[in-house]
Structure 1
Amino acid sequence: MTDKEILLNLYITQLIMVVLAIILSLFLFDSLQDVLSLFKWQPYYIFVIGGGCAIVIILLELLLEKVFPKRWLDDGGINERVFRNRSVLHIFILAAVIAFSEELLFRGVLQTHFGLVPASILFAIIHFRYLSKIVLFIVVVSLSFFLGLLYHWTGNLLVPIFVHFTIDFVLGCILRFRNQKNQV
């Protein structure tokens, strides 16, 4: 697949998740107000708690890169191909789309109605390219449960969305700038 095809598939996958979340919401929530109540503007929880959690997770991911051999953390080069030639604005948009669509479906709809464990397991499964890499899979499963716990503790879907966005944005920018540095 070309980088362009990978990017297109990523956007299509995110669109499918949003559509699936909307369809499931029609059956699982009593009203639009119930769905909207998942989103609360609580800057302290979103930016201080969420931002702090995101920073810790990013630092842990960077530490893993130092501790484990590169081949243990290689997802087949997909993440690098998604982010390496994107502008910072495009990485911002990608991170926002991914965080919103995945958290809406997995935390907002599935976790709200079926619980933390099923939602977190499904989240890990959709990241199937990590299934053959035990370290990556453990990271994704751990992150999934952590995002679910954040949602459970705060009762606010904006918190895991912000954490997910921040992780993807920062790590996406790191991939981009590493690629730029390696080309010089």
Structure 2
Amino acid sequence: MAKSQQELISSMTDAELVKNLYVTQLLICFIALGIGFFTFDSWNSFLQFFQLDWSSILLYGGGTALLVVGGDILLMKCVPEHLYDDGGINERLFANRSVPHLVLICLIVACSEEILFRGVIQVQFGLFWASIVFALVHIRYLKKWFLFISVVFLSFLIGLLFWWTENLYVTIFTHFLIDFLLGLQIRKSKGESAQPEELMQ
């Protein structure tokens, strides 16, 4: 009998789980390149969505991230703890990582996922499909209604931010900062007694 995703994840060591994350993000990059190759008229038509506008990146990207993280922390204090239970995956990914490794993980995830979901799928197929596919890719949340709704909401929010700014740097920074701040929170609350591993150990 085939193992469920939860059983497969539980059988992995933390190091294997991190390596699996990197492989998944690499696959997402290849998918983005493949879809983009057949849907964009030229490389320049894709690169136009990368605008190094620091005021927009910091104000809109950073501001949105801080609002999301603040709202998330508030909800964690108001709703039952079991609604936030993802099977301990995020804790295993973030709790014992060093800060530089945490930065690297969050940066890779933000870049690969925003390029695919916003830069390719949303541009070519629209906000609705980008948000739905983004939520479905986070398969471990499908049986967790509260987490699934949260992911759908977050995806629509970031999608609206991209629709408004047309700047992938803004959404990449938003995605990165949300993951990084929540990762730091997990690391602080769960990993204080553990020795963080060396970068890319």
C-alpha displacement at 1:154, in angstroms? 0.5
Over 2 Å off, 4+ runs: 180-183
Query: Which residue number in structure 2 is paired with residue 171 of structure 1?
Result: 182
C-alpha displacement at 1:2, in angstroms? 1.2
User: Which range moved further: 62-71 or 73-82?
Assistant: 62-71
Query: Which residue number in structure 1 is paired with residue 21 of structure 2?
Result: 10
CA RMSD of aligned residues (A): 1.3
Question: Aligned partner of 1:130: which letter?
Answer: Y
Q: Deviations over 1:112-168 (max 9, x none)?
A: 000000010000000111111111111100000001000000011111111000000
- Aligned ranges for residues 1-184 of structure 1 at < 5 Å? 1-181=12-192
Separation (CA, whole Å) in 1 of partners of 2:75 and 2:13:
28
2:191 aligned counterpart, secondary structure: helix
User: Which range moved further: 60-69 or 160-169?
Assistant: 60-69
Separation (CA, whole Å) in 1 of partners of 2:80 and 2:20:
29
Query: Which residue number in structure 1 is paired with residue 3 of structure 2?
Result: none
C-alpha displacement at 1:178, in angstroms? 1.1
Separation (CA, whole Å) in 1 of partners of 2:192 and 2:79:
22
C-alpha displacement at 1:23, in angstroms? 1.1
Separation (CA, whole Å) in 2 of partners of 1:128 and 1:136:
11
Indicate the structure with greater helix content: 1
C-alpha displacement at 1:181, in angstroms? 3.5
2:143 aligned counterpart, secondary structure: coil
Separation (CA, whole Å) in 2 of partners of 1:68 and 1:76:
17
Give the structure-2-normalised TM-score: 0.89
C-alpha displacement at 1:25, in angstroms? 1.1
C-alpha displacement at 1:182, in angstroms? 5.8
Q: How many residues align?
A: 184
Separation (CA, whole Å) in 2 of partners of 1:102 and 1:166:
14
Among all aligned residue pairs of Structure 1 and Structure 2, give the percentage whose two residues are the same amino acid.
Answer: 49
2:86 aligned counterpart, secondary structure: coil
Give the structure-1-normalised TM-score: 0.97
User: Which range moved further: 28-37 or 162-171?
Assistant: 28-37
1:181 aligned counterpart, secondary structure: coil
2:123 aligned counterpart, secondary structure: helix
Separation (CA, whole Å) in 2 of partners of 1:47 and 1:180:
29
C-alpha displacement at 1:10, in angstroms? 0.7
